[in-house]
Amino acid sequence: MDILEAGDFKFIESQTEGDTLLLLHGLFGGLSNFEGLINAFSGSYNVVVPILPIFEMSIREVSVTGLVEHVAAFVEFKGYEKVNLVGNSLGGHVGLLYALGYADKVASICLTGSSGLFESSFGSTFPKRGNYEFIKTKTEGTFYDPKVATKELIDEVFDTVNDRNKAIRVVVMAKSAVRHNLGDKLHQIKAPTLLIWGKDDTITPPFVGEKFNELIENSTLHFLDKCGHAPMMEKPEEFNQLLRDFLKDI
């Protein structure tokens, strides 16, 4: 699918008749992370992936709330009545804040490896630029099976870390995510919520999924075996089946 540009937005959209499935990527996530999802759902849903302007924002605007405002403006611009949100990692965090601010626009929420309560990322210091092996190990560590981290994916992360402007924005955004802890707000979310967690997620470990399940009233939690921080990439068939059943039920 081609990247479309309209107004201030870059996005992909299947333009299928049907309800809108809005996919929100994480800090290092790109369109490739959602390939399996897009292929599985674009026949029956209008699948939309807004490209979050993490690296285009001015440094003063870089924050989780800045991304939420971008998503809100995008949904408004496109005229979607209601959206079914699917968010991975930082994308889940953005989706939750959007659902808190724009509840009337959200039909359902699916979170997978979402930040917002606890996340363990690169630690408190940023990796040495130019250290490819370190980035390779870190990227592989996102998954239960390191082979899911293709060379293309590792190169993408490496390029981000080695671009000074991008690297600074990653650090600022990660700190903003930690500051915007949602523990005391999640009880306000009323939309039906599906939680899909990898049992071997080391970034947002299984207890994080359990805590989301406890704090979000209308939520269901599923764990996937031998699966890390990005279940939609590592276990696409199980992930898609759980999401399909959930969307049918609601």
Mean pLDDT of the chain: 94
CB 110, CB 194: distance < 8 Å: yes
- Structure letter (DSSP) for residue 85: E
Range of the domain at 103: 4-249
Q: How confident is the model at residue 124 (pLDDT cuts 50, 70, 90)?
A: very low
pTM score > 0.75 for this model? Answer: yes
- Gap between the Cα atoms of 37 and 17, Å rounded: 17
Least confident stretch, 82-86, 127-131, 181-185: 127-131
CATH number reported for the structural domain that contains residue 27 in this entry: 3.40.50.1820
Convert the pLDDT of each residue in 1-14 to its tens digit: 899 999 999 999 99
More confident residue, 174 or 189: 189
Q: Above 90 in pLDDT, residue 128?
A: no
Q: What is the pLDDT of residue 234?
A: 97
Q: Give mean pLDDT, residues 219-235.
A: 98
Cα 230 to the center of its chain, rounded Å: 9
Q: How confident is the model at residue 193 (pLDDT cuts 50, 70, 90)?
A: very high
DSSP SS3 for 112: strand
Convert the pLDDT of each residue in 232-243 to its tens digit: 999 999 999 999
- Structure letter (DSSP) for residue 58: -
Convert the pLDDT of each residue in 48-93 to its tens digit: 999 999 999 999 999 999 999 999 999 999 999 999 999 999 999 9
The total of structural domains in the chain comes to 1
- Gap between the Cα atoms of 221 and 212, Å rounded: 9
Q: Above 80 in pLDDT, residue 213?
A: yes
Q: Above 60 in pLDDT, residue 111?
A: yes
Convert the pLDDT of each residue in 138-147 to its tens digit: 899 999 999 9
